[in-house]
Structures are given as C-alpha cells and as structure tokens.
Amino acid sequence: MQVSLTTPPVAHVTADAAPVLRLEGITKTFPGVKALDGVTLELYPGQVTALVGENGAGKSTIVKTLTGIYQPDGGTISLGGAPVHFATAQDATAAGITAIHQETVLFDELSVAENIFIGHAPRTRFGLIDWPKMRRDAQEILSRIDADLDPDMPLRELGIASKHLVAIARALSVDARVVIMDEPTAALSHKEIEELYELVERMRAEGRAILFISHKFDEIFRIADRYTVFRDGQHVGSGLISEVDEAELVRLMVGRSVDQIFPQRAHNIGDEVLKVVGYAHPTEFDEINFTLRRGEILGFYGLVGAGRSELMQALFGVTKPSKGAVRIDGQVRVIRSPAEAVENGIVYVPEDRGRQGAVIGLPIFQNVTLPSLAQTSRHGFLRLSEEFALAREYTERLDLRAAALDQDVGTLSGGNQQKVVIAKWLATKPKVIILDEPTKGIDIGSKAAVHGFMAELAAQGLSVIMVSSEIPEVLGMSDRVIVMREGLIAAELEGEALTPENLVRHAAGIGARP
Amino acid sequence: MTSFLRSREAILAAAILALLVLISSRFPAFVEPGNLARVFTDTSPLILLALGQTVVILTRCIDLSVAANLALTGMVCAMLNAAYPGVPVAVILILALGMGAVMGMINGLMVWKLKIPPIVVTLGTMTIYRGLIFVLSGGAWVNAHEMSAAFTGFPRVDILGLPVLAWIAILVTGLFFLGIARTPLGRAFYAVGGNPHAAVYTGIDVGRTQFMAFTISGMLAGLTGYLWVARYSVAYVDIAGGFELEVVAACVIGGISIAGGAGTILGTLLGALFLGIVKNALPVVDISPFWQLAISGTAIIVAVAFNSRSGRSKGRIILKRAEGHA
C-alpha cells in the first residue's frame, strides 16, 4: 500500500456515528478452552474505546483476531459495513488495522525507516526497494508526530518510548483506520505517557478509531470516549465513558464490588536486618545508603529508569557494585553471585515475569527445591524424600492445587505456577525478599492476593523490599519509602511525609538541588 | 504406568522391538543373544558419546567437536603406545580421560567466559583438533603391528560374556542415570536448559553448568578415543569422521530437545541403540549401507516432528469453567 501523506484529516465524527469496525458473536476455542464466547466489540471513527478486563478475560485473543493472527471459529467482523475475513496479518494491515503492542513487535537490527515500512516499502520501477523515497517518507511521518528520530538509526539504539513512536509512525504509514494500542503506557515514564496521550489525541482528531487496552483507570477516564468490558471471554458491558464511574467498571470487570484494596497490617518492626553502605556502580547508581528492619516493607519508588532494578540486581549479586558494603544482621557480607545472595538470606523476584517463571519440564517439587538443593542433599547426592517433604511443606502453605508434586509444572495454570515460584523462594528461608514490580500488568483480583501475601510475609518477620511504580501500591503497602532519581536516593519518606505529592516531587526532581 | 506407556521412550522401545521382529523374520540369527551382544558392543562408542552430548544439549548447547576430540585422543594414545609399549593401560585410560576433559573444558570456557555460541566454538575446535592430529602424526597411520597386545586387547577382554567396551558403556549409562536423577548438577542441567533466566535468579551459574556439561562430554569423547583406536587397532587422521552427527542424531531420536531442558538418559540410550541396530542389521538383510543414512535421517525427522507435536501448547485456560479439565 502506498503512503498517502496528503490525506486530509477526517472531520471529527459525532458520538452517534456508525461504527467503522464491528465484531459480533466472535467465538474462539482452543482445544478444551473457550477463549472468546460470542463477544461483541464496536469501534467508532474519531473515538477512543477502552477495552478493560482482568488478565485472561480474552483481550489479547481479540487483538490477535483483529490483526489476523487468529481466525475466529464463529461470528462476523465487518469493516465499514462490509463483512471481512482476515486470513493473515497482511490482510488486516491491508484493510487498515494496525496494532501497537505492549512489547513492541519491531525489528531491533533494522533501521527506523525500515521498521516503519517493512512489508510495504516503496519500490522502484524494477521492483527494488526505493531507499531515498523510503527515507523521505519516514522523515515526513516522523515529523508529523513530532518525533525527533533519525530514519537511518538502528532501532536497537532507541528506548521503549521511541520504539512506540516508530510503531505509531508505522500505523500512520499504512494510513490505518483502526489503531489498536495494547497497554502502550505500561513501560513508559510520566513524561513519555503525556506525549503518548497527545499522539492519541491527534489520531482521534484525524478520525481514526482507536482501541485502547489498559489496566490504569486514570488514563482510561482521561482519554477514552467509550468502554467495553470483557470477563472470562465474554462481553459484559459497554457504553460511553461519561456515563460510567470507576466503581462500576471495577464491578463489571470482577463481577463483584471491590471496596477494600490494601490489607490492614500490624506494624511489628524489629531489629535491623540489612544495611547497605555506600553502594555504587560506575554507570547505574551511586551513594546508596539504607537500612531494612525485620518485618518491614520498604518501598522503592521512582520513574522508570531511576536505577531501582539495577540496584536490586546488584544487591542480589547479578551485577557487581564498584564499591560499598552490605551488612546482614550486623555482619559484613560480600555478595558476588546470586548463589551467595541466597546463602545470605536475600532472594529476588525479578520484574520480568517470563524470567521469574518456573522451569517448565521439571516437576513441581524439583522447581520448589531448585535453590535449596544443598539443604536436601547429603554427600553430594539428592535425597528425594527430603525434597518431597520440603516441597510439600511450602506448597501446602500456599494452598497450591495440584494432583501430585511430581507432575510437570507446565501442566499447572499460571496462578498456580506463580505459587510454585513463591514456594521456591520461601523454602530457602530468606531474611529479605526483594519483589520487583510484583503486581505489574496483573488484574485487580490477583493484585489483592499479592498484597495480602506480602503483608503476611512481613507479619511473619520477613523483611520485604518492594520496587513499585504505582503510587497507590507504594503508599498502601510500605512502612517507609525510598525515592530514587537518576541513580541516586532522592528522598526517604515515612509517616506524615508519605504523600503522593512528595513521591512525585522527589521522583521528578521538582524543587530538588540542581 | 499408563503415562510411561504413552511416553516417547516407550514408543521408541516399541519401534526397536518391531525392528528386531522384522529383521528376525528374514534373518533369525540376528536376534540370537550372541549377536545382540555384538551389536551392543558395536554401539557402545555411540552410547558413550551420546550420553555426553545429552548433558550438553540439555543445557541448550551443542558439542560438534566430540568426534575430533575422540580421534585426537585416540591418535595420542596410539602414538604413546607405539613409542613406549611398556606404559600400562591404566595410565593410558587416565591420559585419555584427562585429554578429552581438557578439550571439553576449552569448549566450555569459551562458551562460559567469552559467551561465544556453542555451535561456533565447537565447529572451530572440531577443525582445530582434527588438524592437530595431522600435525602430530604427519598424516601417518599407527597400525596394529605398532601397538602392544595389552593396548589393543583391553576393550576386548571378556567379562561374563561381554567385552570390557560394552561393560564401560553399561557402567557409564548407570552413572548417568544416577548423576542426572540424584545430584544437584544433574538437576542444574535441566534448569539451565529449561529456563536459563530463572536458573540465574535461583543461584545456578548457567555458564559454569554448561562448562561442566562440555567437560563431561569431552571426557567421554577422550575415553572413547582410546577404546576406538584399540578396538580397531588403527589410528589415522580421519577416524570417526562425521561421527558427531550420528551422536547428535542418537540424542534427537531419543527425544532430547534441541531447545534444551527436556529429555531422558533412557531416551538417549534407546536412540543410540536404534541407530546401532539399523546400522548392523542392514548389511545382514542385504540392504545397501547407504540406506542406513536415509533411515537415520527419516528417524531424526520423525522424532523431531513428534517432539514439536507433543510440545505444542494447548492454549490458555481463560474460562473459569475450563480450569481442571485441561
């Protein structure tokens, strides 16, 4: 398809206009599983429709159906009133439907221009790629969205926000009528999110229909015109955002009302467990000093890229600090590897859920005992009875539902796999557990379960470090909060000082030293 | 039990059985115990190398240098024996194990410390080790008459009706069963291949585990190098040329996933036996040995197709009511 840069913006359409894209009675069944059960979805030109639902409600499946990756088993898709069928992703793109994914699906080794035009690059008379035209067109589209990017720059050199811009430029290059944005702000900082909102506004003004998938209620109410709610693969409600409130959306999503959000905690904070003195890294962080006490939940707040995860990885021995010391229970310890961290009672649950996942192929009990093998073996040989006992103790504590402990962990549902991973860490009897964005991208119901669990761990005397970018979570769960900015500790907040305004102020460096 | 009957090991065992029945219908002497023992002995080098390769593949690596390692170690042992016939076999065995292990360590170190992809590392060392044989021997052969009787006789010593070579394969297989099931290192091989990121955060050193796998693989290649040269009573530059591919084939047919983290020692054993039987049976039933290549190739593709079919995702459980059924 050729780029039509001269297309004039379509006039803003009123709310009662006909939908440009209409899905009706869409059903998608996987072996033994009905992922979508007769769902309806309408997208209107010049309007943003927010699609909300808990994890596993069928949001990803509908996106894949819309973009031609899945073919529905039943139901109809009509575009501009005419029924359409997308056999491949190319069909969907050709029809003017494009998706911007949470993890951008672009090519790191190709240039910005190539990424924008891949699949529909301008050709010369001889059928070869017309590089000068491609660069020119790319430059033109980028300048239209105020993106200051060099078309020849390899994509791998860009940050996530810039990659989103490239994805948006790609959407514009095919003159997409329907733009699907799948949690586009999940990994962006505050400023980047604001810029993204402006782009959404612009695309709306140009008359494009936008499907906006998000877990964040504030942004749904800020930029969406309409909402559609899915629950367990079914359509449970839709309408105008102006006619709904947060409580109603939550009620639709979970099928019950959620009033209490954060667990009440008894604050039995004991002696100092961990003391970090003068931790520094050549490029990532410097002058890190803090203490952690028994039974305490210490929040780490900051913008994305403030160096929080990097600090945690150094504490866990994944990377090495250039200087500084760690004292555990008052004694100086050197942590050079994750194995030494585990030995010293520090465990780390990383942010990337694919990474923290279970080892598929190993049975449940072997997953649980993986970091505790020294404890369950004698003379270098593993004792299976010991392993089973350890695995049983901790999986029962977490109320894991499984037929047998020697069953492959891959046969468990996601939630139960998560429990296996947590059981694994608890079985090492840690003193300090570091949770990096423990509730990122998970639904409200699961969030509450994670929060409850954290509170319970702290009550049992475990010290928790929680890295989180969600202000309500930081405020609701932490006894004390350290705010990081650009690799340094910007503030340590406690009690009265623990307010949303203070968090944002210190994280953004407003009124801070120059 | 039912789950075992549906496992790929059981299917492979059934295929081997069917193969034997088919061969015996045309040539009954093939399945006589004496001949089966001969076939097993003949397959022993393949079993030894395939076991080493198994742990390497489990950790998401591959060792293409095993055949060159075997040939180089074999040549060094043969030249040592030719020059100093008095050196006892025990010393030669230790030398073979040690030399093989060192060559494996070289592979492992480059994968671990320099982060070079294993296929590149072992492709390089394969050529280097093979080239070193020529440098050492000047292209000359070490023939049977230059080797001592003790040197060539050791693999053939008969114990309870089986030669030492077969006993070594049985012993090493037993050690692997034990090591994989009952040692932290055995567990680490699966964890590293199954989910390397999770392994790091669990405190398992991925690079070190891969290094250990290469060391084991190299050690077995070295040991087999001496046994091979002694059994055939000849050493030259090209011995076991291309054998590394047969070794990888045995693993793949046995169900060791090339993606790492999945497979069993029993599977590898059966995969090697399958290839060994095919190789030994074809000349007997008067089929050109070139068919062996076609049959091995078909077996590999069937095995891999089987793997990817069983590994296919069953879709996500999204509907609440589907939970528990899947």
CB contacts, 8 Å: B182 with chain A: 381-382, 384
Structural domain boundaries, residue A460:
260-345+430-514
Per the CB < 8 A criterion, the answer to whether A15 and A225 are in contact is: yes
Min mean pLDDT across A167-171, A308-312, A462-466, B257-261 is at A167-171
DSSP A436-483: ESTTTT--HHHHHHHHHHHHHHHHTT-EEEEE---HHHHHHH-SEEEE
Is residue A302 a part of any domain in this protein?
yes
The span from the CA of B77 to the CA of B233, in Å, is 11
pLDDT at A13: 42
Per the CB < 8 A criterion, the answer to whether A98 and A178 are in contact is: yes
pLDDT at A254: 66
Report angle CA A53, A58, A59 to the nearest 5 degrees: 65
pLDDT at B295: 81
Helix (H, G, I), strand (E, B) or coil at B16: helix
Which residue, A202, A222, A254, sits at the end of a domain?
A254
pLDDT at A257: 41
Tell me the residues of chain A between 184 and 243 that have a Cβ less than 8 Å away from chain B: 232-233
| Candidate from B182, B184, B318 with C-beta closest to A35 | B318
Is residue A22 a part of any domain in this protein?
no
Is residue A20 a part of any domain in this protein?
no
What are the tokens at A372?
A: 């505790």
pLDDT > 80? residue A514: no
Q: Are residues A71 and A162 in the same domain?
A: yes
Is residue A57 a part of any domain in this protein?
yes
The span from the CA of A355 to the CA of A307, in Å, is 19
Which residue, A254, A271, A295, sits at the end of a domain?
A254
The span from the CA of A142 to the CA of A151, in Å, is 8
pLDDT at A8: 40
Q: Are residues A281 and A338 in the same domain?
A: yes
Q: Are residues A472 and A382 in the same domain?
A: no
What is the per-residue pLDDT across A191-236, written as a single tens digit (0 to 9) for each? 778 888 888 998 899 899 999 998 777 788 889 999 999 987 889 9
Helical pair B118-137 and B66-83, crossing angle rounded to 10 deg: 20
Interface test with A, best of B177, B209, B257, B318 (most A CBs within 10 A): B318
The span from the CA of A53 to the CA of A230, in Å, is 5
- Round the average pLDDT of chain B to a whole number and report it: 89
Q: How many domains does chain A have?
A: 3
Sorting pLDDT into bands at 50, 70 and 90, what band is A349?
Answer: confident
What is the per-residue pLDDT across A435-486, written as a single tens digit (0 to 9) for each? 888 876 565 666 777 788 888 888 888 999 999 877 778 888 899 999 998 8
Report angle CA A231, A237, A243 to the nearest 5 degrees: 135
pTM: 0.71
Query: Would the CB atoms of B205 and A337 count as touching at under 8 Å?
Result: yes
Identity of residue B90:
A
DSSP B181-223: HHSHHHHHHHHHHH-HHHHHHTT--HHHHHHHHHHHHHHHHHH
How big is chain B by its Cα radius of gyration, in Å?
21
pLDDT > 80? residue A109: yes
Q: Are residues A104 and A249 in the same domain?
A: yes
Query: Would the CB atoms of B201 and A338 count as touching at under 8 Å?
Result: yes
Sorting pLDDT into bands at 50, 70 and 90, what band is A56?
Answer: low
Is pLDDT larger for residue A193 or for residue A326? A326
Q: Are residues A183 and A284 in the same domain?
A: no
| Candidate from B198, B318, B325 with C-beta closest to A356 | B198
Q: Are residues A374 and A283 in the same domain?
A: no
What are the tokens at B117?
A: 């992809």
| Torsion region of A200: left, alpha or beta (phi above 0 gives left; psi -120 to 50 gives alpha) | alpha
How many Å lie between the alpha carbon of A327 and the closest alpha carbon of chain B? 20
A255 has a chain B CB within 8 A of its CB: no
B261 has a chain A CB within 8 A of its CB: yes
Sorting pLDDT into bands at 50, 70 and 90, what band is A2?
Answer: very low
Q: Are residues A241 and A387 in the same domain?
A: no
Per the CB < 8 A criterion, the answer to whether A339 and B203 are in contact is: yes
Q: Are residues A143 and A53 in the same domain?
A: yes
Sorting pLDDT into bands at 50, 70 and 90, what band is A12?
Answer: very low
pLDDT at A512: 44
The span from the CA of B260 to the CA of A210, in Å, is 41
Sorting pLDDT into bands at 50, 70 and 90, what band is A115?
Answer: confident
B325 has a chain A CB within 8 A of its CB: yes
B208 has a chain A CB within 8 A of its CB: no
Query: Would the CB atoms of B315 and A31 count as touching at under 8 Å?
Result: yes
Q: Are residues A290 and A250 in the same domain?
A: no
pLDDT at A102: 64
How many Å lie between the alpha carbon of B169 and the closest alpha carbon of chain A? 22
Is residue A289 a part of any domain in this protein?
yes
Burial of residue A326 (number of CB atoms within 10 Å: 0-12, 13-18, 19+)? buried
Interface test with B, best of A373, A383, A417 (most B CBs within 10 A): A373
pLDDT at B307: 67
Per the CB < 8 A criterion, the answer to whether A116 and A166 are in contact is: yes
The domain that contains A165 carries what CATH number?
3.40.50.300
pLDDT at B4: 61
Q: How many CA atoms lie within 13 A of A409 on its CB side?
A: 31
Is residue A220 a part of any domain in this protein?
yes
What are the tokens at A294?
A: 């028994």
Q: Compute how many other C-beta atoms are within 10 angstroms of the C-beta atom of residue B197.
A: 15
**A276-298 average pLDDT score:** 91
How many Å lie between the alpha carbon of A373 and the closest alpha carbon of chain B? 6
Q: How many CA atoms lie within 13 A of A40 on its CB side?
A: 6
- The pLDDT profile of chain B, 326 residues, written as one tens digit per residue, is 455 656 778 888 998 999 899 888 888 888 899 999 999 999 999 999 999 999 999 999 999 999 999 999 999 999 999 999 999 999 999 999 999 999 999 999 999 999 999 999 999 999 999 999 999 999 899 999 999 999 999 999 999 989 999 999 999 999 999 999 889 899 999 999 988 888 888 888 999 999 999 999 999 999 999 999 999 999 999 999 989 999 999 999 998 988 888 899 999 999 999 999 988 888 877 777 778 778 878 888 887 787 665 544 444 444 444 444 43
Under DSSP, the state recorded for A8 is P
pLDDT at A443: 59
Is residue A23 a part of any domain in this protein?
no
- Round the average pLDDT of chain A to a whole number and report it: 82
Query: Which helix (H) or strand (E) is A366 found in, with range?
Result: helix A364-369
Query: Which helix (H) or strand (E) is A485 found in, with range?
Result: strand A480-485
What domains appear along chain B, each with residue ranges and CATH number?
41-293 (1.10.3470)
Q: Are residues A50 and A66 in the same domain?
A: yes
With pLDDT > 90 as the criterion, what percentage of chain A qualifies?
21
pLDDT > 70? residue A105: no
Q: Are residues A329 and A446 in the same domain?
A: yes
Tell me the residues of chain A between 32 and 91 that have a Cβ less than 8 Å away from chain B: 32-35, 37, 56-58, 61
Helix (H, G, I), strand (E, B) or coil at A408: strand
Is residue A11 a part of any domain in this protein?
no
Q: Are residues A135 and A200 in the same domain?
A: yes
Query: Would the CB atoms of A33 and B320 count as touching at under 8 Å?
Result: no
What is the per-residue pLDDT across A351-385, written as a single tens digit (0 to 9) for each? 765 556 778 778 899 989 988 887 888 888 888 88
Which residue, A386, A408, A429, sits at the end of a domain?
A429
DSSP B38-74: HHHHHHHHHHHHHHHHHHHHHTT---TTHHHHHHHHH
Per the CB < 8 A criterion, the answer to whether B207 and B112 are in contact is: yes
Q: Where are the alpha helices (DSSP H) in A145-231?
A: 160-173, 190-205, 217-223
Positive or negative torsion for Cα A135, A138, A142, A144: positive
DSSP A299-344: EEEE-TTSSHHHHHHHHTTSS--SEEEEEETTEEE---SHHHHHHT
pLDDT at A259: 41
Say what the ipTM of the complex is: 0.72
Query: Would the CB atoms of B202 and A381 count as touching at under 8 Å?
Result: no
A400 has a chain B CB within 8 A of its CB: no
pLDDT > 60? residue A502: yes
| Candidate from B182, B190, B200 with C-beta closest to A382 | B182
Which residues on adjacent β-strands are paired with residue A270? none
With pLDDT > 70 as the criterion, what percentage of chain B qualifies?
92
What is the per-residue pLDDT across A375-427, written as a single tens digit (0 to 9) for each? 888 888 888 888 899 999 888 877 777 778 888 887 776 667 777 888 888 88
pLDDT at A1: 40
Edge-first strand listing for the sheet containing A82-84: A33-43, A21-30, A74-79, A82-84
What is the per-residue pLDDT across B64-84, written as a single tens digit (0 to 9) for each? 999 999 999 999 999 999 999
Edge-first strand listing for the sheet containing A178-182: A97-100, A178-182, A209-213, A48-52, A226-231, A234-240
The span from the CA of B243 to the CA of B67, in Å, is 6
